[in-house]
Structure 1
Amino acid sequence: MPEARQPATSRLWPSGGVHLWPSGGTSQQQIHARGHLVYAAQGVLSVHTERGTSIVPANRVAWTPAGFPHQHAAHGHTDMRIVFLPASLARLVPDHPVVFLASDLAREILLALTGPQPRDTAAQARLRRVLVDELHEAHEQPLQLPTPRDDRLRSIAQLLQDNPADNASLTELGRTIGASARTLSRLFHDELGMTFYEWRTQLRVFHALVLLADGHDTTHVAHACGWANPSHFIAAFTKLVGTTPGRHRS
């Protein structure tokens, strides 16, 4: 992570808060005694933990359990909302970092719990319970890019993070780092639970979300992320994010 750049404006209280981040803003690594949800009312967030990096566009909400070291980063000017959950509710959601699809109701509750008008304690408790019920019904979303542990996979990950448009095959990348495609394919499956091509597609969509947040158009983003045909990019993006790049930008 780059050196931390603090939010331009913050409003914090015991149950949550709001950070207004400039594009490129980052937090220090931190650990909380309570698990928390983060939502981007504007912009795109990334959440970094030892498990990997989660990208949080406007139709997602990220959960980080208590005790997990984490950092946040903003892509585009970002309105970050935070809601802490008491232990009685935290035990109803996963014990690992995860990204959920945010229903319309979940988004409205997140905004209400972090809005300018104060609510009494009982009303907040009721809203948090409904929010957790909504998340309990939602499926975990494939918007978390796991971090490789194996040095060979780390080398490939670094090459592709530096240049997401690189279309080298796994065999070609293997030659660069001195490992066979068969070995690397097995490592991706055993360690990350996905194929190399699935992992690279997620990496590219992550990069695309960042570029879209910075205001780039769909054709530019498609080429910058390795798709020669923008329609193929749109299909891959829509499959993972649940909306087209154009609708996401707007």
Structure 2
Amino acid sequence: MQEIRHTPVAPTRTQRLASGGEIDAHRHDDHQIAYASRGTIAVSTDGGSWVAPATRAIWIPAGTVHQHQAHGELDLHLVGLPAEENPLELAEPAVLAVSPLLRELIIAHTRAPADRSAARLRLRAVLLDQLAISPEQPLHLPAPSSPLLRELHAILRADPADNRTLEDIGRQIGASSRTLSRRLRAELGLTYHQWRTQIRLHHALILLAEDVAVTAVAHRCGWSSASTFIEVFRRAFGHTPGAGPGEPGAPGG
């Protein structure tokens, strides 16, 4: 991704984005947390993409060139933190679990006036405490660098429901399944099945944000049945599709 602009201070604010809306590529000298209380936020960097529904937030380390994209009508909450303040001790982007308490803290902090009142500082301190204990979620979709894996990636992203084996797709792009498997392990640390599942889950989050029915999402993302999709989704995200923060099936709900 080409760096477009440099905004030294990462803002702390709430803003709305229409579905499909974007914040173009940029970087900050500060860390930033991106959280969508409504809709689904996607953050892309040269290293891959991260997608987060309303039960997750995305950690963006200082200096990372990134862009945001809205899926569904988005209420986006951005929290900026000075570079020396890293409660998570993370040097790479990550998806974090958002408990009902952390959700309310982020919303309140990003909607409060930007001052240094005692009440705001106390709110910020509790928010940082909650961030420090927020577990990281394995929802990163890594971007491959080798030409063969980029071609494989393009095929799977274009049609997540493509159920062909790695051997079948390998014949299309001129590589053996053994070669592709070895490169996936070496470059991404994933098996073909794991990588394809990550691609499908990311696409599923986007479709769900656009109010596509669960059964249709399962079909369009390549699962044999809605029940299979729901179980895979629950294992990955800790709740069933459509369960928002505080609802049955959601963390803390």
Structures share fold, TM-score greater than 0.5: yes
Give structure 1 stretches of 5+ with no counterpart.
2-12
Find out whether 1:25 has 2:21 as its counterpart: yes
**For 1:112 and 1:129, how far apart are their aligned partners in 2?**
13
**For 2:69 and 2:28, how far apart are their aligned partners in 1?**
17
Give 1:164-203 correspondences, 5 Å limit: 164-203=160-199
**For 2:179 and 2:123, how far apart are their aligned partners in 1?**
49
Cα offset, 1:14, TM superposition: 7.1
Task: Specify the SS of the correspondent of 1:87.
Answer: coil
Residue 230 of structure 2 corresponds to: 234
Q: 2:137 aligns with which of 138, 141, 163?
A: 141
Note closer, same or farther for the CA distance 1:248–1:198 as it changes in structure 2 (3 Å cut).
farther
TM-score of the two chains, using structure 2 as the length reference? 0.88
Higher mean displacement: 68-77 or 131-140: 131-140
Find out whether 1:99 has 2:104 as its counterpart: no
Q: For 1:58-102, what per-residue CA distance to the aligned partner results, in whole angstroms no more than 9, with x for missing partners?
A: 001111011110000000000000000123422653011111101
**For 2:103 and 2:244, how far apart are their aligned partners in 1?**
16
Higher mean displacement: 90-99 or 101-110: 90-99
Q: 1:153 aligns with which of 137, 149, 154?
A: 149
Note closer, same or farther for the CA distance 1:25–1:15 as it changes in structure 2 (3 Å cut).
closer
Cα offset, 1:23, TM superposition: 0.5
Give 1:7-46 correspondences, 5 Å limit: 15-46=11-42
Note closer, same or farther for the CA distance 1:166–1:46 as it changes in structure 2 (3 Å cut).
same
Q: For 1:6-53, what per-residue CA distance to the aligned partner results, in whole angstroms no more than 9, with x for missing partners?
A: xxxxxxx97501120101001110011111001001000000012210
Residue 6 of structure 1 corresponds to: none
Residue 211 of structure 1 corresponds to: 207
Cα offset, 1:241, TM superposition: 1.5
Q: Which amino acid aligns with 1:175?
A: R
**For 1:118 and 1:84, how far apart are their aligned partners in 2?**
11
Give 1:39-118 correspondences, 5 Å limit: 39-90=35-86, 92-116=88-112
Q: For 1:141-180, what per-residue CA distance to the aligned partner results, in whole angstroms no more than 9, with x for missing partners?
A: 0111011111111101000111111001111111111111
Note closer, same or farther for the CA distance 1:171–1:42 as it changes in structure 2 (3 Å cut).
same
**For 1:141 and 1:225, how far apart are their aligned partners in 2?**
21
Higher mean displacement: 34-43 or 98-107: 98-107
Checking the alignment, whether the CA contact within 8 Å between 1:89 and 1:132 is kept in structure 2 is no
Note closer, same or farther for the CA distance 1:242–1:176 as it changes in structure 2 (3 Å cut).
same
Task: Specify the SS of the correspondent of 1:72.
Answer: strand
Higher mean displacement: 156-165 or 185-194: 185-194
Checking the alignment, whether the CA contact within 8 Å between 1:89 and 1:129 is kept in structure 2 is no
Checking the alignment, whether the CA contact within 8 Å between 1:93 and 1:132 is kept in structure 2 is no
Higher helix share: 1
Give structure 2 stretches of 5+ with no counterpart.
2-8, 248-253
Taking only aligned residues, the RMSD between alpha carbons, in angstroms, comes to 2.0
Q: Which runs of 4+ in 1 moved over 4 A?
A: 116-119
Note closer, same or farther for the CA distance 1:91–1:237 as it changes in structure 2 (3 Å cut).
closer
